[in-house]
Amino acid sequence: MSELPSLEGRRCLVTGGSRGLGLTICRTLTRAGAKVALTYSTDELDAEEATRLITAEGAAPIVFKGSVSDADHARQTIKTLLERWGGLDVLINNAAITQVLPIALLEEEDWDQVMDTNIKGVYLFSRAALRAMIRARKGHILNIGNFASERVIEAPTHYAASKAAVRGFTESLAREVGRHGIQVNMLAPGLMEVGLGTILPQHRVDEYLGQCAMGRIGSTWEVAAMCAFLVSDENTFMTGAKIVMDGGL
């Protein structure tokens, strides 16, 4: 992995940080010198393994269990971090879920579950974090989107819709809070070796590879390195941006 920007002393929260891309982001931020906290929803073993791996990078994370769609969980998580750290510099809204279902088989509860996690969670955690960031007149909110909201390619309808909503939320929030010195951006990865890339049928993965200029899926480390740049002092003037890392679809 290439040299990372310095995040020495940065106080960072990553939702959905116990596995997949979220875990790699936590490990990368820790390598760059940041203090890291993460949330997870249910799997205790994942959380324990994540704690072990992140600690091996140089600092033990603060870990919170709960659903990102629970407003009390969002408020309490931020409250605890402010009490322990005295502030919050970076929020990375990474938590997301999907199911590979055609719309004819998509139940209302499936739609609601994806929307609650993928966009309501972004709203709740951003709202909870913003008061402290506005008071400090600085901060970074980075929302993890997906290529499905940016490119015309077959993807689960409710998942694509939720990530398109994240894009709109990012653009609007960036305009609202920019005057307070807060930058809000969205990073949209393509298929990776985790998440959607592991549950799509092989013919769909082959379709992706056939359209991708680089002819491969992405690495979570590549995406996490971009996250580190976007929340660092090296990113001085980018906000409301949608950065797509999909290998050239």
Tokens of 171: 């653009």
Work out the average pLDDT over 156-175: 93
pLDDT at 95: 97
- Higher pLDDT: 52 or 247? It is 52
* Pairwise CA distance, residues 129 & 15, whole Å: 12
Q: Which stretch of 165-169, 176-180, 230-234, 245-249 has the lowest confidence by average pLDDT?
A: 245-249
Domain parsing of the chain, residue ranges: 11-245
State the distance between the two ends of the chain, measured CA to CA, in whole angstroms.
23
pLDDT at 149: 64
CA separation, residue 80 to residues 86, 147, 199 (Å): 9, 34, 35
| Average pLDDT value for the chain | 93
Q: Tell me the per-residue pLDDT of 198-232, one tens digit each, with 9 for 90 and over.
A: 777 788 788 888 888 999 989 999 999 999 999 99
pLDDT at 36: 98
**188 and 150 Cβ atoms separated by less than 8 Å:** yes
Q: Give the three-state DSSP class for 19.
A: coil
pTM of the model: 0.95
Share of the chain above pLDDT 70, in %: 95
Q: Tell me the per-residue pLDDT of 58-93, one tens digit each, with 9 for 90 and over.
A: 999 999 999 999 999 999 999 999 999 999 999 999
**69 and 117 Cβ atoms separated by less than 8 Å:** yes
Inform me whether the pLDDT recorded for 23 exceeds 80. Answer: yes
* Pairwise CA distance, residues 81 & 6, whole Å: 21
- Please state which CATH number belongs to domain 11-245: 3.40.50.720
Query: Which residue numbers are catalytic?
Result: 159
Q: Which stretch of 12-26, 60-74, 125-139, 156-170 has the lowest confidence by average pLDDT?
A: 156-170
pLDDT at 182: 98
* Pairwise CA distance, residues 168 & 84, whole Å: 32
Inform me whether the pLDDT recorded for 1 exceeds 50. Answer: no
Phi, psi of 107 (to 5 degrees): -80, 160
